[in-house]
Amino acid sequence: MKIIFKLGYLVSIALLFALTNVDVTMAADAKATLDTGDTAWMLTSTVIVLMMTIPGVALFYAGMVRKRNVLATLMQSFAITCLVTIIWMVVGYSLAFSKGNSSLIGNLDLAFLNHLTVGAINGTIPDTVFVVFQATFAIITAALITGAVAERMKFSALLWFIGLWSVIVYSPVTFWVWGGGFLGAAGVLDFAGGTVVHINSGVAALVAAIMVGKRKGYGTDNLAPHNVALTMIGASLLWVGWFGFNAGSAVGANGTAGMAMAVTQIAAAAAGLSWMTVEWFHHKKPTLLGIVSGSIGGLVAITPASGFVDPMGGLIIGLAAGVVCYWGAALLKPMLGYDDALDVFAVHGLGGITGAILTGVFAVQAIGGTAGALEGNVSQILIQFQGIGATVLWSGAASAFILFGIDKVIGLRVDADAEAEGLDINQHGEMLH
């Protein structure tokens, strides 16, 4: 009997130890959070977001300029990809994502990516993947601006502007929203970059277009796109890449990514149709340039909302974006008289503002954890305006300051003869044949 008792006691101790061990193991597993599925998805997302700039934005813009400026336009996107990558590695990422004591900007603790190791993990993915994923966002944000000053800005001035703007404007705004800054703390919703990327670049583009000045012959000469087919190809690459942009911002292969993908597709389609319909009514004919521009506007508008809204919200946001972006390009620009050559402000600035506001309306608590106005949280709209206002003010003022300085030192635009000759041959010594 004593033997049986002792055996039972030993078995109990063994079982207790085993259960304790299981708990410890489970805790260890929970701590070691690297997930191969998430990692695979984020590697894919990073690649296709990079594709959005080269060749997506590059072709989208190249098709809309005149033939003598095609290579210069392509060059801008490619050069910016190189430049911003190095800036991001040296200082940009650290300013955007390091944990400093300020609510305005990060510190230099992560400069030169000195923290990266093979085994470093960010959530469920390697930290290296997160860094490069965010680098692709910094790249495309800068590249978008170039459309506003197409066909007349010096290449050297553009590089100086983009380099300084990436550090002074893009990294701080990223920190404000995603890096632990005051806008994120205030509850501003921006899932994938409506504020950080699109409002930010759109406002900078508007300021740049005004300060660089109108193209020679604007309003009198034929400045029509030389090859809308290229623009359609670029827009198609952007649409595909946008799934990495929005669904990738879930930072995992999960239900949030799936919903983001669904609403992204719906919004892009709805905006393309709404722009086409309004244009058809207004100008009597629907254009290819119009429908692709509308779809890009829808993609822009759904970007801040993609992790927070349901399909019906995506549909309404897309329909609204097509109308608003068309109004910006076809009516607002002529009325105010500025020459935003490729309608960056209309599509990205106004599209981003539309999406940011409507995120505050259609956010679903069960999807993104925050209710919007339709679920009773009307104050979320005011919070969204806070994010819009801070970004507009900082991007606008800082962009103007940077451009003013560059203009005083080296000048912003080429002379009239160089503009007439074309930037391809004048700035780069090559041309299409």
What is the per-residue pLDDT across 321-353, written as a single tens digit (0 to 9) for each? 999 999 999 999 999 999 999 999 999 999 999
Q: Is the dihedral of CA 302, 305, 307, 313 positive or negative?
A: negative
Tokens encoding 318? 């897309």
Classify residue 278: in a domain, yes or no: yes
If one counts the domains in the chain, the total is 1
Mean pLDDT, rounded, for 253-257: 98
**Residue 121 three-state SS:** strand
Q: Are 397 and 390 in contact (CB under 8 A)?
A: no
Which residue segment(s) compose the domain that 373 sits in? 37-428
- Residue 316, pLDDT above cutoff 70: yes
Mean pLDDT, rounded, for 274-298: 98
Question: pLDDT tens-digit profile of 164-180?
Answer: 999 999 999 999 999 99
Q: Residue 125: which H helix or E strand, with range? A: strand 125-126
Question: Which residue, 381, 351, 52, is CA-closest to 205?
Answer: 351
Classify residue 16: in a domain, yes or no: no
Q: Are 419 and 218 in contact (CB under 8 A)?
A: no
Distance CA 156, CA 163 (A): 11
- Residue 393, pLDDT above cutoff 90: yes
Classify residue 13: in a domain, yes or no: no
Classify residue 285: in a domain, yes or no: yes
Mean pLDDT, all residues of the chain: 93
Overall residue count recorded for the chain in this entry: 433
Q: Domain of 298: which CATH number? A: 1.10.3430.10
The contacts of residue 85 (CB under 8 Å, 6+ apart) are 135, 139
The contacts of residue 290 (CB under 8 Å, 6+ apart) are 275, 276, 279, 326
Q: Are 152 and 401 in contact (CB under 8 A)?
A: no
Classify residue 23: in a domain, yes or no: no
Classify residue 263: in a domain, yes or no: yes
Confidence category of residue 23, pLDDT binned at 50, 70, 90: very low
Classify residue 240: in a domain, yes or no: yes
Classify residue 18: in a domain, yes or no: no
Tokens encoding 24? 């410890």
214 secondary structure, DSSP code:
P
Mean pLDDT, rounded, for 424-428: 98
Q: What is the pLDDT of residue 101?
A: 82
pTM for this model (two decimals): 0.92
**Residue 262 CB neighbour total at 10 angstroms:** 15
Distance CA 313, CA 365 (A): 13
**Measured CA distances, 180 to 68, 98, 147, 233 (Å):** 45, 9, 31, 37
Q: What are phi and psi of 422, to 5 degrees?
A: 110, 140
Mean pLDDT, rounded, for 159-166: 98
